[in-house]
Amino acid sequence: MVNEEKKIFAGELFCPGDPELKAIKLRSHKLSQQYSALAEDQTEERNKLIHEIVGKLGEGCFFQGPVFFHYGTHVEIGDKLFCNYNFTVQDDAKVTIGNDCNFGPNVTIVTPIHPMLPSERRMMRNEEGKPTRFCYAKPVHIGNDVWLGANVTICGGVTIGDGCVIGAGAVVTKDIPPMTFAAGNPCRVIREITEEDSMVNKPEIMGKNQLY
């Protein structure tokens, strides 16, 4: 792990232009482009690339593509994740995703945060007094059985609990407790998810199908 990378995980200011960090990102960007250029039925080639991109990947995952991973190595994914098209992960800080999650089109996870003051965004000085551009990052954790609707954005520092449903277009800036439906910009909890939400209570949609 390079020095600036240690600062990321410590929650400190780091220099995204650091040559070692740029090398990690360039590798991930190239691999993401290669994955995105492959056809959906090129399963072996896709599987090989996605395992090269992310730090940890469980069984039975599917990424429609195109995809974009910033570092890639900072991402850990459980089993049976389904991602629709245009999945973007700016994983400066750690991003962990649980088992059996479903992500709609255009889901974006962003961990980096820039200083609020314009002068500080332009330039500060590092510990050696050298003018440097800085940012910092906060991790994202997504639990098991989470459904993210289309165009959802997850911001740095957020934890989404098990079993949550996040409505389309939501911008999630705060933690969402387990088994809740949340939506909006900024995202807020609308209600709990209960047995009343079961498909058995929607016979017109359920048809002749049965629960597993």
Q: What is the pLDDT of residue 165?
A: 98
Asked whether residue 93 is domain-assigned, the answer is yes
Residue whose tokens read 């049976």: 80
Contacts (Cβ under 8 Å, ≥6 apart) of 89: 67, 68, 69, 70, 72, 75, 95, 108, 109
Mean pLDDT across the chain: 96
Q: What is the pLDDT of residue 3?
A: 87
211 belongs to a structural domain: no
Q: How confident is the model at residue 1 (pLDDT cuts 50, 70, 90)?
A: low
> Does 21 fall in a domain?
yes
Question: Where is average pLDDT lowest: 52-56, 175-179, 197-201?
Answer: 197-201
CATH code of 49's domain: 2.160.10.10
Q: One-letter amino acid identity for 62?
A: F
pTM listed for this prediction? 0.95
Parent domain of 136: 3-206
Q: How many Å apart are CA 75 and CA 96, to the nearest integer?
A: 6
Pairing of strands 112-113, 136-137: antiparallel
Please determine, for residue 66, whether its predicted confidence score (pLDDT) is greater than 70.
Answer: yes
pLDDT per residue as tens digits for the range 140-190: 999 999 999 999 999 999 999 999 999 999 999 999 999 999 999 999 999
Percent of the chain with pLDDT over 70: 99
Q: Please write the tens of the pLDDT for every residue from 89-117.
A: 999 999 999 999 999 999 999 999 999 99
Start-to-end Cα distance in the chain:
45
Element (H, E) at 77: strand 75-77
Q: Position of tokens 């962990």?
A: 96
Domain count, the chain: 1
Residue 120 lies in a domain: yes
Please confirm, yes or no, whether 114 is among the known catalytic residues. Answer: yes
Catalytic residue among 70, 74, 114, 141: 114
| 46 part of a folded domain | yes
Q: Which residues lie below 8 Å from residue 179, measured CB to CB, with a gap of 6+?
A: 161, 162, 163, 164, 192, 193
- Give the pLDDT of residue 2: 67
The rounded distance, in Å, linking the Cα atoms of 159 and 140 is: 6
Look at residue 212 in the predicted model and tell me its pLDDT.
83
